[in-house]
Amino acid sequence: MTVRVGHAAEAAKFPIIANTLVDDSQIRKNVRHATDVIQNKRANVVAEQRDWQELRLSASKIKEHTLKYLDRYLEQFETACTRAGGQVHWATDADEANKIILELMQSAMAKHGWAREVIKVKTMTSDEINLNAALEAAGIRPHETDLADMIIQLGDDKPSHIVVPALHKNRTQVREIFSRKMDLPELGDKPQDLTDAARHYLREKFLNVKVGFSGANFLVAETGSVCVVESEGNGRMCLTMPEMLITVAGIEKIIPAAQDLEVFLQLLPRSATGERMNPYNTIWTGVHEGDGPREFHVVLLDNGRTNILADKESRQTLHCIRCGACLNACPVYSRTGGHAYGSIYAGPIGAILTPQLQSMKHSQSLPYASSLCGACYEVCPVRINIPDVLLHLRSKVVERQQDMLAGGANFEGLAMKMAAFAFARPTIYRWGQKFARVAQRLLVRKGYIRWLPGMLGGWTAVRDLKALPQEPFREWWAKREVEKTKAATSV
């Protein structure tokens, strides 16, 4: 099985990539600006929704229920979609999904003599399975039509955000990419100039390319319908203009009934882009003669999701509707941008999703890429307790290390064991306090420690540490008790 989310078999460690990114003033400024703007918009439209907390609760309950009966709902979806003229395919992992998609495209292209090109709606899942590389290897040209995805594709870049994948680029940088790739040396950098260029470039594709490709925001089990929401209308073009449409969707995208959209279509746009409603909400069911694509396929993707489902502590990860609110709210993400996470899924949700989908080995620094401040949980529209899941994953990282080393020498593990030993024995703990007080004399200058060795050096790199006081609280208390007793007896 090839489960794939990240860029490589083993991602570079988060602190190491972050080290370079926090120093990039252009990225810091772009990410900060973009997340601030979206956060403020979100805060305004959430504040006006008086039943926001109830909506969050409903969404979380619907997701919980659906995951409990996922097998049933998936089969119900398959039956309904097939009845409406669609075809459903099942893929256990990324490679299988790509194989199915390629075979479908290749046979249709050969049969109808279509050009070997495909227009794509923004889809994270296709990035997850690395579809574009598979298409290119087979001689099929994918065209990203979402403006931001197009910027990423033309700039040979990687997405840094789930919803606004090019937020680390500003418009001067976008102008440079467009002007180079579209051969427009005179292009200006005003929003109007850039969208005009994109429109001309894309319109030609919409009119000529015969195969469309999309992800899904929701799959409705009851009706076999697929729902995609977007802001530009380019998605609507891809979903309606081509002869053939293929959709790939993670199995967790299922909701029981169309009525459930009432909850999610209120939560998603407010959380994602700070809009009351998405400008384009496309819901389609199977195929219809003379209206839209004549051939429609859905590829249902597992790619590690059933493993998450099996873990009751972290199952809630699958509630995610990919709104990106946790990224915008995260103080870590806003300092590093998305590339530090070594995966197409960045930010707090990426920190819990990537290691679970791919493997703990791939990204064991990710569960630690959080100060556990809880801002992500606070904004999550489906109430994923991300800090709790991070803690659960941290314990799995440690268990894995302890199993590998079988109690051997890992500095952190050893220090933690020693601390636990001392904390369980007050006498040793007290001696530890005394020892530290004596030992610190080597390091203290004018009441502060300015340098610490090894891992602790991370602290003194930018901070001083106040010297330990001569008398811990417990010694002060003990003295006071003695004095009190003395005073009582002398009376």
Partner 1 sequence: MMVILSWVDRRGVLVLRVSLFITCYNDTLFPKTGQSVVRVLERLGHTVEFPPEQTCCGQMHFNTGYQREALPLMQRMVEIFADAEVVVAPSSSCVALIRDQYLKLAETSGDTVLIKAVKNFVPKVYEFSELLVKKLGVEDVGAYYPHRVTYHASCHLLRGLHAVDIQMRLLRNVRAIELVALEDVEVCCGFGGTFAVKNPDVSAAMLSDKMRAVLNTRAEVCTAGDNSCLMHIEGGLHRLRTGVRTVHLAEILASTEGAEV
Q: Which residues bind partner 1 (CB under 8 A)?
A: 14-15, 18-19, 22, 28, 331-332, 335-336, 367-375, 377-378, 388, 391, 394-399, 412, 416-417, 419-420, 422-424, 426, 429, 433, 436, 448, 450, 455-456, 458-459, 461-466, 468-469, 471-474, 476-478
- To partner 1, the closest distance from the beta carbon of 369 in angstroms equals 6
Nearest Cα to Cα of residue 121 among 11, 271, 284: 284
The smaller minimum CB distance to partner 1, of residues 12 and 468, is found at 468
The smaller minimum CB distance to partner 1, of residues 92 and 410, is found at 410
Distance separating alpha carbons of residues 405 and 413, to the nearest angstrom: 10
Distance separating alpha carbons of residues 127 and 213, to the nearest angstrom: 12
- To partner 1, the closest distance from the beta carbon of 450 in angstroms equals 8
- To partner 1, the closest distance from the beta carbon of 158 in angstroms equals 19
Q: Beta-strand (E) ranges in 105-224? A: 117-120, 141-144, 211-214, 218-220
Distance separating alpha carbons of residues 354 and 367, to the nearest angstrom: 10
- To partner 1, the closest distance from the beta carbon of 62 in angstroms equals 24
Decide: 291 and 239 in contact? Cβ < 8 Å: no
The smaller minimum CB distance to partner 1, of residues 336 and 356, is found at 336
- To partner 1, the closest distance from the beta carbon of 44 in angstroms equals 16
> What sections of 2-83 are H helices per DSSP?
14-21, 25-47, 52-68, 70-83
The smaller minimum CB distance to partner 1, of residues 191 and 458, is found at 458
Nearest Cα to Cα of residue 225 among 252, 250, 254: 254
Q: Helices 261-272 and 52-68: crossing angle, nearest 10°?
A: 120
The smaller minimum CB distance to partner 1, of residues 190 and 417, is found at 417
- To partner 1, the closest distance from the beta carbon of 397 in angstroms equals 6
- To partner 1, the closest distance from the beta carbon of 55 in angstroms equals 19
Torsion angle (degrees, nearest 10) of CA 219, 239, 259, 302 = 10
Q: Which amino acid does the sequence have at 380?
A: C
The smaller minimum CB distance to partner 1, of residues 223 and 359, is found at 359
- To partner 1, the closest distance from the beta carbon of 263 in angstroms equals 24
The smaller minimum CB distance to partner 1, of residues 176 and 388, is found at 388
Residues 6+ apart with CB under 8 A from 250: 125, 301, 302, 303, 305
**262-300 burial string, b = 16+ CB within 10 Å, else e?**
ebbbbbbbbbbbbbeebebbbbbbbbeeeebbebbbbbb
The smaller minimum CB distance to partner 1, of residues 307 and 440, is found at 440
Nearest Cα to Cα of residue 175 among 146, 204, 196: 196
The number of beta carbons lying within 10 Å of the beta carbon of residue 214 is 26
